[in-house]
Amino acid sequence: MMKMIKTVLATACAVGLLYAGTVAAEVRSQTLRFAFQNVKEHPQGQGAQKFADLVKKKSDGKIKVRLFPGGTLGGDLQTVSAIQGGTLDLTVLNAGILAAQVKDFAILDFPFLFNNAQEAQQVIDGPVGQALATRLESKGLHTLGYWDLGFRNVTNSKKPITRWEDLQGLKIRVIQSPSYLETFSTLGANPVPMPFPEVYTGLEQRTVDGQENPNTVILGSKFYEVQKYLSVTRHVYNPQSFIIGEKSWNKLNEDERKLITEAAAEAQAYQRKVSEEAQEKAYQTLKGSMAVNEITPEEMDRFREKTKPVIEKLAKDVDPTLIKLLDDEVQKTRKPQ
């Protein structure tokens, strides 16, 4: 009899522990706050909505992702600070901006680094992106993936840019990153760092003559209304870091983290496809409302040569082992398969 009682108790305890473990790991009802700079119709916003939909589906509606598009909660730097403090949970932003947190991120804003989006994505999805993500964790930020914003081009209200000399003296709004300040200063422009929500007004009031962004941003933010010229300089390719604050990440249990990670991977693939299609569509649309010009291969080579000192200067603040890794990975993508 005593032996039977002990067996029953042991079984009850085992079941109880199993149940307790299940309860501890179950998906709980909660809301995550996701702020970003572009409008909800932009590929960035579409990616964010896809992520929100996936999280809702995978959690059976328990986890909701509330979106704050269009920089309504402030610029990128303010958003990152809020995420580190725990008042926001998620954001996606130009990876190079994170050089303010980890200097090594400046490598992603080296001018004329990548030839095409596929090359850039292959590099950022490999050891380079992993190394940067690891270094970012010390700043209270956990990387969920890398999205696509495309190549950046210059717009202005004065004249077409056909060679680097055409930029001399123009006031060009740039993102709040040393890489952009150095690049446009070297090209002879007067770079003006400005939070994204202020850019349209700055262009409209002629506080600045121009700005530089991917075609989808130029179209989505209606910069064509206050800018006449679009020059396809393709001076920087923008991978975007999709991040969650460590404070928010640490509040999630194992099942919730797995769910979020899976949704992020699916949203990344979707967002990149949408972005690629949108870039070409935006380019064709902008041709109808702006004076658009390409840069000849000869002049593009002159742009690259002119900005070599920028890379040399920025590289001094970056881990040399990471510089070598980046160069090795870029060259690897260019080898014949």
Q: What is the tens place of the pLDDT at every residue in 4-48? A: 444 444 444 444 444 344 334 699 999 999 999 998 999 999 999
In a domain, 187, yes or no: yes
Q: Which residues pair with 65 in a beta bridge?
A: 32
Would you place residue 88 in the very low, low, confident or very high pLDDT band (cuts 50, 70, 90)? very high
pLDDT for 178 equals 83
- State the Cα–Cα distance between residues 101 and 80, nearest whole angstrom: 9
Percent of the chain with pLDDT over 90: 83
How far is Cα 235 from Cα 298, in angstroms, rounded to an integer? 15
Give Rg (Cα) of the chain. 23
pLDDT, mean of residues 234-258: 96
Q: How many beta carbons lie within 10 A of that of residue 81, not counting itself?
A: 14
Q: What is the rounded distance in angstroms from the CA atom of residue 264 to the CA atom of residue 244? A: 11
Query: Which residue has better confidence, 24 or 212?
Result: 212
Q: Once rounded to an integer, what is the mean pLDDT over residues 115-120?
A: 90
- The answer to whether residue 81 scores a pLDDT higher than 50 is yes
Domain count, the chain: 1
Does residue 3 register a pLDDT over 90?
Answer: no
Mean pLDDT of 185-193: 97
Read off the CATH number of the domain in which 187 is found: 3.40.190.170
Segment 165-170 shows an average pLDDT of: 98
Q: Is residue 304 part of a domain?
A: yes
Asked whether residue 152 is assigned to any structural domain, the reply reads yes
Give the count of alpha carbons within 13 A of 1, CB side only: 0
More confident residue, 5 or 167: 167
Task: Tell whether 251 is covered by a domain.
Answer: yes
User: What three-state secondary structure class fits 141?
Assistant: strand
337, part of any domain: no
Quick one: pLDDT band at residue 96, thresholds 50, 70, 90?
A: confident
Dist CA 142 CA 51 (whole Å): 16
Give mean pLDDT, residues 49-77. 96
**Residue 25 pLDDT:** 60
Higher pLDDT, 148 or 16: 148
Provide the CA 201 distance to its chain's centre, in angstroms: 23
CA-based nearest residue to 150, from 226, 71, 251, 42: 42
Average pLDDT score over residue span 193-203: 94
pLDDT reported for residue 337: 57
pLDDT at 228: 98
Let me know if residue 17 belongs to a domain: no
% of the chain residues with pLDDT over 70: 92
Is residue 270 assigned to a domain? yes
d(CA 244, CA 89): 6
The arithmetic mean of pLDDT across residues 278-289, rounded, is 96
pLDDT-derived band of residue 2, with 50, 70 and 90 as boundaries?
very low
* Residue 335 exposed, middle or buried by CB count within 10 Å (0-12, 13-18, 19+): exposed
Provide the pairing of β-strand 90-94 with 30-35: parallel
User: Residue 215 sits in which domain range?
Assistant: 30-332
Q: How confident is the model at residue 335, as a pLDDT?
A: 76
pLDDT averaged over every residue in the chain: 91
